[in-house]
């Protein structure tokens, strides 16, 4: 679950991480009022969307009057912001964050992620802040500093000093950075984060300030993060992915026209690969899970058919925990209830596979049977091209 910048900065402030003063606005009048309340001579109006690259896309404006803040806000609200992270469809802007302008002497990069190889939380810092960290990693990897934090020992001051010196900080700045790093580490653990990022952490005079903030929360831990779970902004999420999550389906939208319904993440990825191999393009990743039921299969059909780009459907089920006859019943019910008007290719194997195939063959429905995955992929690609 992603948080907006203003929400991330609320958490930062709770943990004593310095951030500029700012207020949220939903229209021009609120933005102008926010600028007056904050005071100063310059303000920054930032579109609140779950994506990076807002500045290059026109989602960050520097203004010098409350009236200009109002005008910039009115131009953003109700629009969709298109960045390199949103794709061509963009994300809707419903709010902006009006923030006091800051004097910037230097821009640094700081993030915390999970190092899955070691099972440690890892700091990644760089003196090249204010730009895409992917670009830094690709072209100047020597500017990246990585520090793994052992869960038993916790973050050590010595590790903070290593990062601070690597960032070119000196004297009291090292002490400030140590406090910020320790607070970030505590925040990461307390709120079940999967990512915390500051880009940039600015040096302004003799102070360090988090000019931007990005936090991702681990979905599986939201049951113990009640307040943060209430901050979810469904408008920033893919509608089909959100509906799928409500029904405990693992779904990711893609750009192709062949819908996939599979049980098991590995099998789903293999299915998409084979479709691509034979000249097709998958419209989604959909894992109905090992505990698939007739109702869940029917829901999955409804979900994938809500995508107007779908020209054919491939159902690839290996019955281990889940029974193939149950999947077949779900397919039959879905095709009848939903009124599927695109070709459906089905390959089922495993527990009760024969019973499942018999149910499908006797259903009277125009379901195309396949003996193996290669045959299924060839048939569904051909069907999608008709």
Q: List residues with catalytic annotation.
A: 109, 197
**Contact, 60 vs 18, CB < 8 A?**
no
> Running DSSP on this structure, what letter comes out for residue 142?
G
Give the Cα separation of 197 and 116 in Å (integer). Answer: 18
Q: Sort residue 341 into left (φ over 0), alpha (ψ -120 to 50) or beta.
A: alpha
Q: In DSSP terms, which residues pair with 98 in a beta bridge? A: 23, 45
Give the Cα separation of 229 and 20 in Å (integer). Answer: 25
Q: Tell me, rounded to whole angstroms, the distance of Cα 53 from its chain centroid.
A: 14
Q: With b meaning 16 or more CB within 10 Å and e meaning fewer, what string describes 18-35?
A: bbbebbbbeebebbbbbb
Identify which of 54, 91, 51, 98 has the alpha carbon closest to the alpha carbon of residue 74. Answer: 98
Give the Cα separation of 216 and 4 in Å (integer). Answer: 9
- DSSP, residue by residue, 1-37: -B--HHHHHHHHHHTT-----EEEESSHHHHHHHHHH
Residue 73's SS3 state is helix
**Contact, 250 vs 286, CB < 8 A?**
yes
Q: Tell me, rounded to whole angstroms, the distance of Cα 64 from its chain centroid.
A: 34
- Backbone CA torsion sign across 254, 255, 256, 258: positive
Identify which of 30, 35, 1, 3 has the alpha carbon closest to the alpha carbon of residue 20. Answer: 35
**Contact, 304 vs 313, CB < 8 A?**
yes
What residues have CB less than 8 Å from 116, skipping those under 6 apart?
none
């Amino acid at each position: 679950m992603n948080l907006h910048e203003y929400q991330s900065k609320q958490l930062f402030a709770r943990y004593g991480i310095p951030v500029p003063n700012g207020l949220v606005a939903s229209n021009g009048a609120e933005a102008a009022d926010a600028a007056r309340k904050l005071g100063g001579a310059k303000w920054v109006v930032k579109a609140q969307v779950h994506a990076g690259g807002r500045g290059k896309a026109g989602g960050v404006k520097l203004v010098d009057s409350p009236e200009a803040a109002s005008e910039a806000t009115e131009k953003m609200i109700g629009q969709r912001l298109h960045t390199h992270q949103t794709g061509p469809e963009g994300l809707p802007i419903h709010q902006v964050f009006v923030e006091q302008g800051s004097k910037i002497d230097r821009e640094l990069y700081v993030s915390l992620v999970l190092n899955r190889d070691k099972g440690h939380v890892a700091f990644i810092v760089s003196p090249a802040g204010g730009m895409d960290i992917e670009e830094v990693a690709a072209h100047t990897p020597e500017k990246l500093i990585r520090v793994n934090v052992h869960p038993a020992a916790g973050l050590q001051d010595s590790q903070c000093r290593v990062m601070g010196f690597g960032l070119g900080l000196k004297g009291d700045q090292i002490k400030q950075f140590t406090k910020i790093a320790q607070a970030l580490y505590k925040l990461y653990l307390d709120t079940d984060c999967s990512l915390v990022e500051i880009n940039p952490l600015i040096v302004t005079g003799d102070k360090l300030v988090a000019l931007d903030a990005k936090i991702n929360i681990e979905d599986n831990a939201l049951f113990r993060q009640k307040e943060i779970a209430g901050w979810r902004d469904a408008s920033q999420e893919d509608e089909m992915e959100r509906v799928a999550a409500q029904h405990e389906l693992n779904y990711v939208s893609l750009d192709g026209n062949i819908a996939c319904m599979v049980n098991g993440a590995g099998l789903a990825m293999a299915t998409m690969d084979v479709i691509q191999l034979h000249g097709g393009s998958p419209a989604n990743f959909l894992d109905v899970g090992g505990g698939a039921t007739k109702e869940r299969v029917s829901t999955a059909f409804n979900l994938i058919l809500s995508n107007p780009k779908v020209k054919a459907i491939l159902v690839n089920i290996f019955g281990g925990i889940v029974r193939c006859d149950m999947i077949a019943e779900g397919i039959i019910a879905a095709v009848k209830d939903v009124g599927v008007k695109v070709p459906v290719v089905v390959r089922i194997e495993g527990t009760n596979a024969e019973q499942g195939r018999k149910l499908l063959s006797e259903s009277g429905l125009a379901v195309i049977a396949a003996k193996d995955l290669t045959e299924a992929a060839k048939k569904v690609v051909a069907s999608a091209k008709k």
